[in-house]
Amino acid sequence: MMLLTLDELLARTAALHNHLCPRQVLGVRMGMLAADVLKLDLPQSDKRLFTFLETDGCFADGVAVATGCWLGHRTIRLMDFGKVAATFVDTQSNQAIRVWAHPESRRYAAEAEPTARSHWHAQLAAYQTLPANKLLCWQPIQLTISMEAIISRPGIRVNCTYCGEEILNEREKIVNGEPVCRACAGEAYYHIDGLESLTLDNESSFSPDSVYGSLAGMSGLEMAASSES
Ligand SMILES: [Zn+2]
Ligand SMILES: [Zn+2]
């Protein structure tokens, strides 16, 4: 059950977000539906519920406020599919549901608030009053990824064999039997001007595949490590 009312939750998310908008309401209503279906007391003060968000933005703050799941508590993860949808996992029972915005919710909002100043205002008002089954869809799902692996265990850390930076939560790759961070293993989302030669042999072009390929063939890393020392 919900430990706070919709109005209390909206006040919290509005304060966090500096305004109140329809997608925050949608996020709050999703969290409330999760409490209802999974029979959990939310917003939680422990880590029992884990949430996968399928987009960031306003909606994410509504979900976090209603559920008590936060990045800082390691109870939220962004799966960036660009969808206003979320999966809620009860980590005790392993029951999981995926919730998404009803495809007709905008039309229902317009019908419910015919005198609203704009679609935005109609949605802001109607998303607070529409019954859940006109606002949201949900179904039980089975995860294809391991919650144990996602959560890992507290206190686990190793240093990357190549860059030396600390890696938490078992996020390292094992390359030639050694722990390597994802960036050094070729999954970096950035590059540093002039440093390509440290992670690649000179004949490779700069692409994750080539880094991966050279790591798999075991030369890129070791060459880089030896050229550094
Ligand atoms: Zn917003
Ligand atoms: Zn590294």
Neighbours of 72 (CB within 10 A): 7
CATH class given for the domain over 154-228: alpha beta
Q: What is the mean pLDDT of the chain?
A: 88
More confident residue, 46 or 154: 46
Which ligand lies nearest the alpha carbon of 120? 1
Which ligand lies nearest the alpha carbon of 188? 2
CA 26 → CA 31, 60, 65, 87, 181, distances in Å?
A: 9, 9, 12, 14, 37
Query: For residue 196, what pLDDT is reported?
Result: 60
Distance between Cα 162 and ligand 2 center (Å): 5
Over residues 178-196, the pLDDT tens digits come to 999 999 999 999 988 876 6
Over residues 6-36, the pLDDT tens digits come to 999 999 999 999 999 999 999 999 999 999 9
Q: Is the pLDDT reported for residue 2 higher than 50?
A: yes
Over residues 56-72, the pLDDT tens digits come to 999 999 999 999 999 99
Which ligand lies nearest the alpha carbon of 25? 1
Q: Where are the domains of the chain?
A: 6-150, 154-228
Architecture of domain 6-150: 2-Layer Sandwich (3.30)
- ∠ Cα 46 60 131 (to 5°): 90
Which ligand lies nearest the alpha carbon of 123? 1
Distance between Cα 53 and ligand 1 center (Å): 16
Distance between Cα 52 and ligand 2 center (Å): 27
Distance of CA 191 to the CA centre of its chain: 24
3-state secondary structure of 7: helix
Of the chain, the percentage scoring pLDDT greater than 90 comes to 81
Distance between Cα 196 and ligand 2 center (Å): 14
Specify whether the CB–CB gap between 172 and 180 falls below 8 A: yes
pTM of the full structure: 0.83
